[in-house]
């Protein structure tokens, strides 16, 4: 019986994880979501494993105090570096993006020709390559770090000549590799999916790591009987988003809403002057539109 109304906790180094939340809304429309974006300390893609693990544990601790029933690590860098530490420390299920995407790529690649694009940290960790070869030892994995994709996406340059030129440079070798699938190993990259699909061609299946994590979460909660109550009398889902710093860019709300695919719910900025984090005595107003 499904009768667990507690929210799903999701975190990322910034707002890219909102693409994963969007997929959770699609897969699990009756579930509430608590999201944490570490906007004060991004990017994580160029930080050490120890630092990423420490940040991840701090944020997961915050989410657990919000009484979540599971934690989705909607960050490829954190999934690469911190997943084992999170699972050892917390009693709630912790779902990363690496293994679900690896399984989807293998299923889409009969000859085992798989590409991965991601941040420097994700590619350098070889987390995807290791997960794929563990599940399919004969697979051939080719990786490419694409560090400029994140700032281009956050600038809103999704269909800009500069972005196309950068993508052509990054993907040059992958386009010659006769790939069957390409894992988008960063939660920002689905925003570039039309461009990447155009450059890679129709024979390459794009694997959205956040979408695969959302599907894995839906399956896990169903298996555990932890889906939110549904039907007559069930409460409507309630979402709450937290950021660790108030964004200063005018375009924040526009970019965030494009990631989420809908208007933002209430957003609270929390202070990092001490742990556990606490809400500011004077809450920032909801970030539902461009700010001055």
Active site residues: 75, 186
CA 35/CA 15 separation, integer angstroms: 9
Distance of CA 112 to the CA centre of its chain: 25
**What phi, psi does 247 have (nearest 5°)?**
-60, 140
Q: Which helix (H) or strand (E) holds 168?
A: helix 161-175
CA neighbor of 154 nearest in space, from 267, 11, 292, 17: 17
CA 121/CA 119 separation, integer angstroms: 5
Burial 253-287 (b: 16+ CB within 10 A, else e): bebbbbbbeeebbebebbeeeeeebeeeeeeeeeb
CA 114/CA 129 separation, integer angstroms: 9
């Amino acid at each position: 019986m499904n009768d667990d109304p507690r929210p799903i906790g999701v975190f990322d180094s910034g707002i890219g994880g909102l693409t994963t939340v969007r997929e959770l809304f699609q897969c699990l429309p009756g579930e509430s979501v608590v999201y944490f974006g570490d906007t004060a300390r991004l990017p994580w893609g160029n930080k050490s494993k120890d630092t990423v693990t420490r940040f991840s544990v701090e944020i997961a601790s915050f989410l657990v105090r919000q009484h979540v029933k599971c934690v989705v690590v909607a960050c490829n860098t954190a999934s690469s570096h911190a997943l084992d530490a999170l699972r050892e420390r917390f009693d709630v299920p912790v779902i990363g993006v690496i293994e679900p995407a690896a399984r989807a790529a293998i299923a889409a690649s009969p000859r085992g020709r798989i590409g991965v694009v991601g941040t420097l940290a994700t590619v350098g960790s070889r987390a995807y390559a290791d997960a794929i070869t563990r599940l399919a030892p004969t697979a051939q994995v080719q990786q490419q770090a694409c560090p400029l994709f994140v700032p281009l996406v956050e600038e809103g340059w999704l269909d800009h000549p500069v972005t196309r030129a950068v993508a052509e440079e990054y993907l040059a070798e992958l386009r010659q590799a006769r790939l069957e699938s390409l894992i988008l190993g960063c939660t920002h990259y689905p925003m570039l999916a039309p461009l990447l699909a155009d450059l890679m061609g129709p024979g390459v299946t794009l694997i959205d790591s956040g979408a695969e994590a959302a599907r894995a979460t839906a399956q896990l909660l169903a298996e555990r009987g932890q889906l939110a109550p549904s039907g007559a009398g069930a409460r409507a889902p309630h979402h709450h988003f937290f950021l660790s710093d108030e964004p200063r860019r005018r375009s924040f709300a526009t970019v965030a809403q494009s990631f989420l695919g809908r208007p933002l719910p209430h957003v609270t900025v929390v202070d990092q002057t001490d742990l556990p984090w606490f809400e500011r005595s004077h809450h920032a107003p909801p970030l539902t539109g461009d700010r001055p």
